[in-house]
Chains A and B, each alone.
Chain A
Amino acid sequence: MAGRRGRGARPQSIAAAWRQYAAISPFFLVFVGFNLIPVFFTLYLAFQRWDGLGDMTFVGLDQFKFLVHDPVFWQSVRNTIVIWVLSTFPMLFVSLVIATMLNAGIRFSSFYRVAYFLPNVTSLVAIALFFFAVFSSQSGIVNATLHLLHLPEVGWLSNSFAIKVVIALLMSWQWTGYNAIIYLAGLQAIPTQLYEAARIDGAGPVQIFFNITIPLLRPIILFTLIVSTVTGLQSFTEPQVLFGSTAATNPNSGGPGQAGLTMMLYFYHQAFDNNDYGYAAAIVWALFLLILLFVVINWRLVTRGERKERAR
């Protein structure tokens, strides 16, 4: 790596490189002040009791002890994971199907790409308001359609499981096209000779898909899984906007039965409704550890298949 890149500029002394340090300093000043130090300060806060105004009190592991015995925290963990599972796996499957179809060399593919990507740049608040409007009450368009089909109406924004389905649908609507476009780019990078060779060997489309496409797409699948994990487990705006108007007392409770209370929303509630900074810091670190755990699991799962194939 060091060979070609930056050939013209050999390692220099710190003083001689002042221009380079000056060039990266605007970024690093903000980076250190608003990113690096805050991350560690959050960790520090998790060992304190503080309301943001008075004095901080060191409480050791008390916040984490409280955390593991807090039923609302565990509910937020369950909600977050259920919503993530409901959105991620169906979404990534549909994305892969869409990408495969787009890769079939059909016409109008740039139109399709724009159409599928559009939801991803749409304001999350606006689309959450839209979901609120179509899923709310019996006369919203979704229940009206169910009625038309002689199906029972669903309390989309009151039933505990339906709430999670609505949030998952919202996330899927926004991210399916994005993931499909990513997969498409991965598919286009697979050499066509591989497909031809397999076809000559008598492989059918399904065999080709599972024995060539999926294995070669593995790094891209891992990438989309990790992006979905990191963004999905941090979901906040969806439940905050959907249930901001329905709860009379606490707008950040995650709706009826707190069924839409995600970890991020619980963090926000503890930090900015209750001014319980120490506890909020403990929650957000727990969220980080959960994300890390899920990323490692994803990574192990995806690369395990690869190791198996190599062993074969």
Chain B
Amino acid sequence: MTKYKIGRLGIHAALLVGVLVSFFPFYWMVVMATNTTQDIYRYPPKLTFGSHLGDNISRLLDNIDFFGSMLNTAFVAVTVTVMVLFVDSLAAFTFAKYRFPGRNVLFGLVLAMYMLPTQLAILPQFIIVSDLGLAGTLRALLIPPLANAFGIFWMRQYVIGAVPDELIEAAKIDGAGFFRTYWQIALPAIRPGLAFLGIYTFVAAWNDYIWPLIVLVDPEHITLQLALAQLNTAHGTDFSMVMAGALLAIVPLLLIFVLFARNFIADATKGAVRE
């Protein structure tokens, strides 16, 4: 029994080391953001939280339009998420529950694209967006994420498991049409799946870097990630200020994640482990 207990303790000790590695960057970011750069980069460095967070943030706000860019990011992430949820769930529901000529060919096309690296399309995407006159505007960030094959693929699997055929059959007998069946029968049944895909899409849109870097040529309209990178380019040695920005940029995401974490993690593994 004691040997068993010691084994358990050993496992917890090893796992806690891993947790420390996971958490260290967050802890050290707070340390840097709450001290002056001089205190951090002296030897030995200061290892505890300081009282300079306010100074660092006010310097941050002097140098970049932090909250403006955060608002841009929030607008893009929310809009993209809402559109992806609607478009993907409707298409996935159709693929999962209805047969129509060309269904398998079309879905095979989606699967094939899911396997291709997204970056293969990025240069023509930029050309198209420029031709449409959208380069430099936030609208350029709203369209390409809708073509995400992962969403359709994952959602279709989810619909198959969550919406029984009998339910659709019953709706049909009750005289519900296709779109009403989707809206009143399918959508409520797949709500947990929508929560996962929604958080996944929101996080991806919030953190996206390469696409905004390519299309947002106008310095007046940039996203949070671009603002952070530019801040580093211009003031890379003022680490405390840069870390204050980095910290503020990840706090909303961490909050969302911790709030929904349990279901999110379970759903994230489903795609991998299924058969």
Chain A residues with a Cβ under 8 A of chain B: 2, 4-14, 17, 19-21, 23-24, 26-28, 30-31, 33-39, 41-42, 45, 52, 98, 101-102, 104, 106, 108, 110, 112-119, 121-127, 129-130, 132-134, 137, 139-141, 144, 147-148, 173, 176-178, 181-182, 184-186, 189, 220, 223-224, 230, 234, 236-237, 240-241, 244-246, 251, 264, 267-268, 271-272, 277, 280-281, 284-285, 287-288, 291
Contact = CB atoms under 8 A, between A and B. Distances in A.
Nearest to A35: B147
Interface of B is mostly: helix
Interface residues of B, number: 100
Interface of B: 8, 11-12, 14-15, 18-19, 21-23, 25-26, 28-29, 32, 40-45, 87-88, 90-91, 93-103, 106, 109-110, 113, 116-117, 119-128, 143-144, 146-147, 149, 152, 160, 165, 168-169, 172, 177-179, 182, 203, 206-207, 209-210, 213-214, 225, 228-229, 232-234, 236, 239, 242-243, 246-247, 249-250, 253-254, 257-258, 261-262, 265, 268-270, 272-273
Given A41-B124, A114-B265, A277-B123, A129 B254 contact: no
B239 A287 contact: no
A126 B147 contact: no
A38 B40 CA distance: 47
Contact of B146 (A30, A125, A230): A30
B14 A101 contact: yes
A-B pairs, 10 with minimum CB distance: A38-B124, A38-B121, A17-B100, A185-B269, A126-B246, A245-B236, A139-B41, A41-B124, A27-B91, A19-B178
B261 A114 contact: yes
A28 B28 CA distance: 45
Given A45-B123, A123-B253, A280-B123, A30 B273 contact: no
B29 to A, nearest CB: 6
Contacts of B213: 240
A98 B15 contact: yes
A264 B43 contact: no
Given A42-B120, A130-B243, A147 B236 contact: no
A27 B87 contact: yes
A139 B28 contact: no
Given A27-B146, A33-B128, A245-B233, 9 more contacts: A6-B165, A24-B90, A27-B90, A33-B147, A104-B8, A108-B12, A127-B246, A133-B239, A185-B269
B124 A130 contact: no
13 contacts: A23-B178, A24-B91, A41-B124, A42-B120, A121-B254, A133-B242, A176-B18, A182-B272, A182-B273, A185-B269, A185-B273, A244-B233, A272-B214
A123 B250 contact: yes
Given A26-B90, A220-B273, A21 B25 contact: no
A285 B228 contact: no
A157 B119 CA distance: 27
A107 to B, nearest CB: 8
A41 B22 CA distance: 41
A129 B125 contact: no
Contacts of A240: 209-210, 213, 229
Nearest to B202: A121
B88 to A, nearest CB: 7
A37 B113 CA distance: 11
Contacts of B206: 123
